[in-house]
Amino acid sequence: SGIFASNGGMETEKTLAMIKPDGLRGNYTDRIRRAIVESGFRILKDRVVELDEDRASQFYAEHSSKSFFPSLVKYMTSGPVCVMVLEKQNAIADWRAMIGPTDATKAKATHPNSIRAMCGLDSEKNCVHGSDSLQSAHREISFFFEETGEIVGKHDEL
Ligand code: GDP
Ligand code: MG
């Protein structure tokens, strides 16, 4: 069965987590992975990949009309990223809560224990990504992992 197969009623959920280029460069990977596991997530899959301009633009397509888009794409192509499929109950919301607000400057002020407060720099270089909804999680997990051969289930199997 594929990574979207049901879990026999355990009601777990999967989300896509990413350590962005600044996170890898800053050697935060081990610390972040430890925090993930200690918070009860299972890391089902992980891989280190480099996004080219096309792939980074596709990944952040929803932001293509924003003024910061060119800068975002440049940032996301500045080095390798580590993508992970995390699983636990309420994984999507819980991982978003763990990473904290988008702007790492604000995270440091209001969510000092968040990952972005620990590792991020500003509103762009914020170290980590997390899917923001069930649809995003499905799209983003497929984006990075379906090409490795897993059978991707229907949306209602998520
Ligand atoms: P996220 O879901 O918390 O990652 O935030 P968004 O989906 O709103 O934005 C996607 C990514 O674009 C963020 O994680 C940042 O890396 C970047 N970003 C968001 N807002 C800004 C901004 O105002 N300026 C810049 N330069 N980058 C931004
Ligand atoms: Mg987002």
Q: CA separation (Å) from 34 to 15, 21, 95, 101, 103?
A: 17, 18, 13, 20, 23
Q: What is the pLDDT of residues 95-127, one digit of tens each?
A: 999 999 999 999 999 999 999 999 999 999 999
**129: annotated active-site residue:** yes
**Global pTM value:** 0.89
**Model pLDDT, residue 110:** 98
Question: What is the pLDDT confidence band of residue 157, given thresholds at 50, 70 and 90?
Answer: very low
- Give me ligand 2 centre to Cα 9, in Å: 29
Percent of the chain with pLDDT over 90: 85
Pocket probe for ligand 1: among 66, 78, 123, the residue whose CB has the most ligand atoms within 8 Å is 123
Say which ligand is closest to the CA of 115.
Answer: 1
- Give me ligand 1 centre to Cα 75, in Å: 11
**pLDDT: is 3 or 34 the higher one?**
34
- Give me ligand 2 centre to Cα 97, in Å: 13
User: Per the annotation, does 116 bind a ligand?
Assistant: yes
Q: What is the pLDDT of residues 39-58, one digit of tens each?
A: 999 999 999 999 999 999 99
Q: How many CB atoms lie within 10 A of CB 86?
A: 29
| Arithmetic mean of pLDDT over the chain | 91
Say which ligand is closest to the CA of 74.
Answer: 1
**Model pLDDT, residue 7:** 54
Rounded Cα–Cα distance for residues 4 and 54 (Å): 26
Show the ligand 1 pocket: residues with CB < 6 angstroms. Answer: 63, 68, 71-72, 102, 123-124, 126, 129, 132
Q: What is the pLDDT of residues 15-37, one digit of tens each?
A: 999 999 999 999 999 999 999 99
User: Per the annotation, does 108 bind a ligand?
Assistant: no
- What domains can you pick out in the chain, each with its CATH number? 13-147 (3.30.70.141)
Give the CA angle between residues 63, 120, 103 to the nearest 5°. Answer: 45
**Model pLDDT, residue 11:** 86
Q: What is the mean pLDDT of residues 142-157?
A: 63
Which secondary structure element, helix H or strand E, spans residue 140, and what is its range? helix 134-145
Q: What is the mean pLDDT of residues 80-98?
A: 98
Burial 3-34, CB ≥16 within 10 A → b, else e: bbeeeeeeebbbbbbbbbbbbbebebeeebbe
